[in-house]
Every structure is written in structure tokens, then in C-alpha cells.
Amino acid sequence: MMDINTVSGMVVGAAIEVHRHLGPGLLESVYQQCLRHELELRGANVQTELRLQGNYKGHMFDIDYRMDMLVNNCVVVELKVVEKLLPVHKAQLLSYLRLSDKKLGLLINFNETLVKNGIKRIVNQL
């Protein structure tokens, strides 16, 4: 089993590969499909569009939020195609990390000339 940093590195490498082939400007759903395929080619277990549940003092409730991706059950990946990543995007990913009880998330904005400039690593201190 890969450790969380190895999985994170694999996601970053796969995102760079997808962006190298497709460039910026496509729909988020296209990048999601291609990133999933690239990660699976690299041996990752990828789940997409996972519905989140909340827990308030033992009361479980449904939330109309879906995580874009969960890779190897440890790294949450949130994809964006926006002019600029905003604090609200980071807050959204941190909320997903808290609700899913995961420690590490990657926020990836494919609308960059170099996708590595659009990758933010978000850590949930739990």
C-alpha cells in the first residue's frame, strides 16, 4: 500500500500528464475523466463523485456535495477550471476533508498555462 505522499505525488504527475496532452480550456468533467483514466493506468484506485454525509453530534445528515475524486482512499482531489483559485475553493476542499475524515487534499486548477502553478495541497489537521 502506498503512503499518502506517494499517492499525492502520483496525482500531481498524472495531472501534469493530462494537462500536457489537453492543455487548458476544457470542461472540468473532461479533465476528471482523463485524470481518472491516467491514475488507473498508474495502478490507482479512483472513486469519483462521492456523495458526502455530515455528522452533527451523532446525527448523520445528507449533504448535496460530492467529492470530485478520492484516490487510494486517502487523497481527496477537487478539480477546477477557473481563472483563479479563490479562498472559497480551499475552504470547500477543507470541508470535504473534514466531512470524509481524510488528511490530505489536492486542489487542481486545469485553467493554467502550467498546471503545476494551479495545484494547491490542503491538509486537514483532524
Render pLDDT for 13-62 as a digit per residue (tens, 0 to 9): 999 999 999 999 999 999 999 999 999 999 999 999 999 888 889 898 87
Closest by Cα among 57, 56, 94, 58 to 76: 94
Sheet with 46-56: strands ordered across: 46-56, 59-71, 75-80, 104-109, 119-123
Query: Over the stretch 63-121, which tens digit does the pLDDT of each residue have?
Result: 878 999 999 999 999 999 999 999 999 999 999 999 999 999 999 999 999 999 999 99
In this prediction, residue 126 has a pLDDT band, given cuts at 50, 70 and 90, of low
Higher pLDDT, 27 or 126: 27
Range of the domain at 118: 4-123
| Number of domains making up the chain | 1
pLDDT at residue number 13: 98
CATH number, position 30? 3.40.1350
